Structure 1
Amino acid sequence: MKPALAFILLVSFIETWKLVSVEAKVFVVLMEDDPVVMMSLRNDENIAIYKERMTREHDVFLESLLEKGSYVKLYSYTHLLNGFAIYVTDKKVLHVLESAEKVRLIHEDTKLQKLTTHTPELLGITTGVWPALGGAMLAGEGVVIGFIDTGINPFHPSFTNEASSATGSAGEQFPPSACNGKIVGAQYFARAAIAAGEFNSTRDYASPFDADGHGRQVPSSTAAGNHGIPVMANNFNYGYASGMAPGAQISVYKALYPFGGYMSDVVAAVDQAVEDGVDVLSLSIGPASVPSGPSAFLNVLELELLFATKAGVLVVQAAGNGGPSSSSILSFSPWITSVAASITDRRYNNSIRLGDGQSLIGTGLAPPTIGGVFFPVAAAADVCQRNITAGLVESCQDADPFIRSLVRGKLIICTYTFDFESEAATIATVADTISKIGAAGFILTMDPDIGSEQIKGATVTLQVPGVILNNMESSSALWEYYNSNTMRSRSGIAIGFRATARILDGREATYTGSAPVVASYSSRGPDVNNALLETADVLKPTIMAPGSSIWAAWSPNSEGDQYIKGQNFALLSGTSMATPHIAGIAALIKQKHPDWSPAAITSAMMTTANFTATPGVPILAQQKNKLSPATPI
């Protein structure tokens, strides 16, 4: 049968079903076996055979479980996912699939409104600037932004281009064709790192390819990433991404590695960038502390950046993440545009509904529990082997202590302990543990001794249902409900679990429309002149841009951040996220006014930026446990 005819018949069949039952729904079912991309298949023929086998296995699986006529298989997913989409009219079908072996996840298909990653719209670029420059695809055209960082993944959709302009350095994971018209230059600098013995050839790649956990292709995508790229993370579409100047070109200078970098390598990179003729230079990097010597302005890197500015290159640098302490700025010189970070009006909230009707608010970019039903709740310590100390299992970092027969199908209460603060434990590992033990999801509660100002890894995207109750009030309410509904023996062993709950979908963003607020981590002025922290007569930071919870391109090969390993996009925060916003906007101004100097471009941004939230109402700044009116520093 011809594909077009088959599709027409399938649509006709489904439409007929719709007339019969309004309960008909589509579900996506993911299986436990690996898809094609996870397999080491050497040629196209082997790939085709494997995909055909997976499709056949899906058909046999469904035929063995479900009555003929009770479902229609719409798709078999074989390349990126191992699973299928199934159209059903009977709720019994869902119950059968939920209890079937080898089913990893069932997710009800939903209609979602597709959004951009928001900051271009938030800054007024989409309606005011892009149309004036010929549209998004041309915004920034003819302008080259240089990035000194940990490299780039040229295969990411944010940087792909059908054109070819092979001027980059070939090397590991980076063929000459990677310089494709979007990426017009790419080189790496590692001589100082090699000399110091810190360059690891098995990990760091002797090429411009980004293998660092900080995924510093992040700045590249935020400033000049392609327009309208689907933001896929853990098999969910969070919207469509765009750089500030999607039409701009990128030149990459890799001088940093997982361990950091050396100033001499960075200076060499700046030198090459200016020689190559970049228009804007973005540095989401800075020194670890104020350089020693008579003046912070006179170290080699600062002078190199001065010369870059004199050559007509606008240098944009992150202010640092040492806030809210005063004089924590790490971008000192007056010739550098130093960027502070704000939070935006986008929120990713999640909640859990308890069996007694309570609704507790938290966070967690995670799918909901299946089917809208309530699942039994069990504390980690109550469903583990008795010879294991409770404190060792409450963080849910290891699957081995859990008793599989007790945890299967339950929501497990874990605790955010001091191990998370020291990064010995992670939320990503919690999710991995829950997946391994076959639980329905997890609830992460706060340890009373820690508090809840900053939850490390709270914005990691998850594949299993989960919610982080990031305040003591919600955590206490859950424990009170759980303890009052758990039956125990005289020795204190849990023998009955009557507490129930369901987790809602935490992946849908809400937009409050509120004004930006200076992020607590964003470094403050006043600027300093030397290591003695003597105040300099230079106003810093220069300008503020969105820096909190920003979607940006990530390298799936990155090893340094286990929260988001294997993902193409990540939700990140820091002044390093704010900096490329300003670099991209500077590129738009440069396109419109190619003869303007770096000082003129920075002045244009400063003098047209908002300095109040609304007329007469100051922008606020996060301080320790409070909000205060923001100041120029």
Structure 2
Amino acid sequence: MAFCTFILLFSFITIWDFLPLNAKVFIVLMDEEPVTSLKLERSYDRNETDAIVYKERISGGHDRFLESLLHGHSYTKLYSYTHLLSGFAIHIESEEAVSTLQNAKGVRIIHEDIKMEKLTMHTPEFLGIPVGVWPTLGGAEFSGEGVVIGFIDTGINPEHPSFASHSFRGNQSISKFKGKCTTGNRFPSTACNSKIVGAQYFARAAIAYGDFNSTRDYASPFDADGHGSHTASTAAGNHRVPVIVSGFNYGYASGMAPGARIAVYKALYTFGGYMADVVAAVDQAVEDGVDIISLSVGPSAVPSGPAAFLNALEMELLFATKAGVLVVQAAGNSGPSSSSILSFSPWITSIAASITDRKYNNTIKLANGHSFSGIGLAPPTLGRVYYPLAAAADVCHRNVSTGIFSLESCQYPELFIPALVRGKLIICTYSFDFENDDATIATVADNIKKIEAAGFILRMDPDQDFSPNKFKDMALDVPGIILNNMQSSMDLLEYYNSHTIKSRAGQAVVFHARARILDGRRAIYHGQAPVVASYSSRGPDVNNALLQTADVLKPNIMAPGSSIWAAWSPSSEGDPNLKGRNFALLSGTSMATPHIAGVAALIKQRHPKWSPAAITSAMMTSAEVTDHSGSPILAQDYSDSPILEHVLVHATPFDFGAGFINPARAIDPGLIFNAHFQEYVQFLCAVPGVDDDYVRRVTGYGCPTENQGWCSDLNTPSITISNLVGSRKVIRRVRNVSSANETYTVTVKEPSGVKVSVSPQVFKIRGLASRELKIVLKATNSTRAYSFGAMVLQGNNNHIIRIPIAVYVSTSL
């Protein structure tokens, strides 16, 4: 068996050959074929008798299998997986039961369940969609029509205007979609409409672990967190919904594909979720007939086992792809560390996050002429008047048992002396309590209103060095500013102390320090965008928990993910600072992912027969590697400076994949790189440390008998080689998706230490025809590091196809 080679970066995780004894939930895959393997019509009605009978047979077979092996009191079957995989999720009470299942005939493999984490509206304009895409699809309201996006997330707020019933033309039917609407707490039968076409929830694993609270989490598709509503509206929310927060209009929100339908599969909650529930949600979504799955969720760490590509969720998503469903997943929020990616497999489209050209700044001006910048979307103090400053500790009752930190954090209105705080700007202090949510900025703002103060300043504490940057997108309804710079915080305090007179007992008696807060709700636009966000997880991709790097480019593509306005759930239990809000401004790869899901819906509408790989190829090969000013895209990286939060460096494919999404070009890419199920199986057969038997046990399919080749042979719109020794030949097949003939000229920007030759260098390809390219990469210098380049195909019909190259040269011959 040939291998796709790898570099060992570092190792600190032990891979066990046995399952942990304290594990409670397992996912068991069985030998029996799932429903999708039925030799029926390529597309069948979910209610067709053969399919229903077979599904019941599989589920009943799981019950009988378990009854024959285990004592009834020792387990609870949570789910039967029947559509894409044949298997079940089981809550096991005894070690003996685990051992019995491991040795039972008919069991392919057992996976331990793992915890999952939740990983937006100026962005349609930033992406050029209103001018470059929507007009070609019949206008904004009809863009995405006929496409159903399934969201595996925290549910949806059906009362939000972003999801109000939509008027569709009806010329692009979704009759193949067979999902249902599950009613329950805060989710009546009227919650589903022409926009929300299906809604279900999955919580059996969460219940088994004791994490699910029906009062807090809602036993229904209702979104008790807000995250799911945010992602759904980003991808497919209605067009031009006013974003009004605390009485201020921040603009209008639109999904990327306002005409697409939404199907909700709630499997995440305020605490996150579990793989067993997520796999059940994916299985149901594909059975229902969704076209795209948006997954703003991922594992909390690289799964154990011989390969990250072979855990139960990755396999479920492989078979979803086989069924023709595009899977879009967040790359993770662990950047800018190398190999922090949490979306691994080549059949998944993994999304990096960028900042956009819009940001919000706030400013406080002191009476001495100095000013400090900060964060917080807050209204200004009234007029151009300078208001007295008062430190919270100086205007609170001292004869109480409350500690100094509680006084300074402004969490308790009863501690303030009314006569001393009324009409002043109160200086509060950011402490550890804010980090663990024992203190909230929403509480500070509420208290400022209660005590009739003019506003507040939240400063950093030099003795604790916690940064309040997680609140940079916080919208406030009182004048306020959050100083996220230590020097500014210290300078403010120095100014205050030098202008405040205190008694011999240390009590402040005269407040001469004065300031006013400007309007922080007005957006500022700048040209240096997009930029890779610091938190966006980076490549290289890894084969396993040992972080051995893989011949797979991850992330695949980048989209806006920072400071994204989108729908929220006012009763949110996920973030106390957003309680009562109908919209939220959030950042993360979770926010970038639905941008790509929405763009994919636009492509699917234009090209309904394209495979998932073809849609991903169109987005990747047309992506931008320069920002709006024409300069190379930069990335936020770690900073050693105590003043700078981050520095900007040149971005690489391990930061942004193929580049930043260009929807107008992706609709008409010229050429595409396609890949199918059997090619993904061949890829798995070439993964180091994975033998043929393991691939068969996990996928149900064996490896081909002929030479396996390399993982880099997979026909992707990128070339990644994690260990180049001497030279390697790579074959890529392209297909002309235009009906017109076109001649392409190939140019190559070679990675450092690598000579790249391509044959042919000039070729003509007929409309709808295919062509093979032979690429030879020869090591000329042992760099012992990754270097990057690109292969560009320039067509005479103005199509430009760009293929990123990433190579680690180990040895040159």
- Same fold, TM-score > 0.5, yes or no: yes
Distance in 1 (alpha carbons) for counterparts of 2:188 and 2:432? 44
- Counterpart of 1:632 in structure 2 is 653
Distance in 2 (alpha carbons) for counterparts of 1:434 and 1:332? 47
- Counterpart of 1:621 in structure 2 is 635
Distance in 2 (alpha carbons) for counterparts of 1:614 and 1:503? 32
Distance in 2 (alpha carbons) for counterparts of 1:453 and 1:597? 45
Could you say what secondary structure the match of 1:613 adopts?
coil
Deviation at 1:174, TM superposition (A): 1.1
Distance in 2 (alpha carbons) for counterparts of 1:271 and 1:421? 37
Distance in 2 (alpha carbons) for counterparts of 1:500 and 1:161? 51
- Counterpart of 2:223 in structure 1 is 210
Question: Is residue 2:152 matched to residue 1:152?
Answer: no
Could you say what secondary structure the match of 1:618 adopts?
coil
Contact 1:166 1:180 in 2 (8 A): no
Distance in 2 (alpha carbons) for counterparts of 1:391 and 1:425? 11
- Counterpart of 1:19 in structure 2 is none
Deviation at 1:225, TM superposition (A): 0.3
- 1:326-337 aligned at under 5 Å gives the runs 326-337=338-349
Q: Which amino acid aligns with 2:305?
A: G
- Counterpart of 1:544 in structure 2 is 558
Distance in 1 (alpha carbons) for counterparts of 2:210 and 2:465? 40
Could you say what secondary structure the match of 1:266 adopts?
helix
- Counterpart of 2:411 in structure 1 is 397
- Counterpart of 1:109 in structure 2 is none
Contact 1:393 1:401 in 2 (8 A): yes
- Counterpart of 1:69 in structure 2 is none
Contact 1:283 1:579 in 2 (8 A): yes
Distance in 1 (alpha carbons) for counterparts of 2:210 and 2:494? 54
- 1:125-274 aligned at under 5 Å gives the runs 125-161=129-165, 167-212=180-225, 214-274=226-286
Q: Which amino acid aligns with 1:275?
A: E
Distance change >3 Å, CA 324–CA 307, structure 1 → 2: same
Q: What are the superposed Cα offsets for residues 399-443 of structure 1, whole Å, 9 maximum, x if unpaired? A: 122111100110001112232233322222211221222211001
Q: Which amino acid aligns with 1:584?
A: G
In structure 1, list runs of 5 or more residues that go unmatched.
Answer: 1-115
Question: Is residue 2:438 matched to residue 1:424?
Answer: yes
Distance change >3 Å, CA 193–CA 425, structure 1 → 2: same
Distance change >3 Å, CA 449–CA 455, structure 1 → 2: farther
Distance change >3 Å, CA 453–CA 544, structure 1 → 2: farther
Distance in 1 (alpha carbons) for counterparts of 2:494 and 2:219? 55
Deviation at 1:371, TM superposition (A): 2.7
Deviation at 1:147, TM superposition (A): 0.3
Distance in 2 (alpha carbons) for counterparts of 1:143 and 1:210? 23
TM-score (norm 1): 0.79
Q: Which amino acid aligns with 1:618?
A: P
Q: Kindly name which structure, 1 or 2, has the bigger radius of gyration based on alpha carbons.
A: 2
In structure 2, list runs of 5 or more residues that go unmatched.
Answer: 1-119, 169-177, 640-646, 655-813
Deviation at 1:120, TM superposition (A): 0.4
Distance change >3 Å, CA 355–CA 534, structure 1 → 2: same
Deviation at 1:162, TM superposition (A): 5.7
- Counterpart of 1:87 in structure 2 is none
Q: Which amino acid aligns with 2:204?
A: R
Q: Which amino acid aligns with 2:603?
A: I
Contact 2:152 2:264 in 1 (8 A): yes
Question: Is residue 2:372 matched to residue 1:360?
Answer: yes
- Counterpart of 1:48 in structure 2 is none
Deviation at 1:542, TM superposition (A): 0.5
Contact 2:429 2:460 in 1 (8 A): yes
Q: Which amino acid aligns with 2:323?
A: A
Identity percentage of aligned residues? 72
Contact 1:552 1:571 in 2 (8 A): yes
Q: Which amino acid aligns with 1:279?
A: D
Distance in 2 (alpha carbons) for counterparts of 1:605 and 1:513? 23
Could you say what secondary structure the match of 2:415 adopts?
coil
Distance in 2 (alpha carbons) for counterparts of 1:135 and 1:187? 31
2:479 corresponds to which of 458, 465, 469? 465
Could you say what secondary structure the match of 1:202 adopts?
helix
- Counterpart of 1:482 in structure 2 is 496
Distance in 1 (alpha carbons) for counterparts of 2:468 and 2:357? 18
Question: Is residue 2:294 matched to residue 1:282?
Answer: yes
Distance in 2 (alpha carbons) for counterparts of 1:298 and 1:315? 16
Contact 1:452 1:471 in 2 (8 A): no
Distance in 1 (alpha carbons) for counterparts of 2:469 and 2:412? 20
TM-score (norm 2): 0.62
- Counterpart of 1:85 in structure 2 is none
Q: Which amino acid aligns with 1:154?
A: P
Deviation at 1:452, TM superposition (A): 6.8
Distance in 2 (alpha carbons) for counterparts of 1:322 and 1:162? 37
- Counterpart of 2:361 in structure 1 is 349
- How much is the aligned-residue C-alpha RMSD, in angstroms? 1.8
Deviation at 1:451, TM superposition (A): 4.5
Question: Is residue 2:322 matched to residue 1:310?
Answer: yes
Distance in 2 (alpha carbons) for counterparts of 1:285 and 1:440? 41
Question: Is residue 2:448 matched to residue 1:434?
Answer: yes
Distance in 2 (alpha carbons) for counterparts of 1:459 and 1:451? 20
Contact 2:353 2:589 in 1 (8 A): yes
Distance change >3 Å, CA 449–CA 324, structure 1 → 2: farther
Contact 1:163 1:180 in 2 (8 A): no
Bigger shift: residues 216-225 or 358-367? 358-367
Contact 2:527 2:628 in 1 (8 A): no
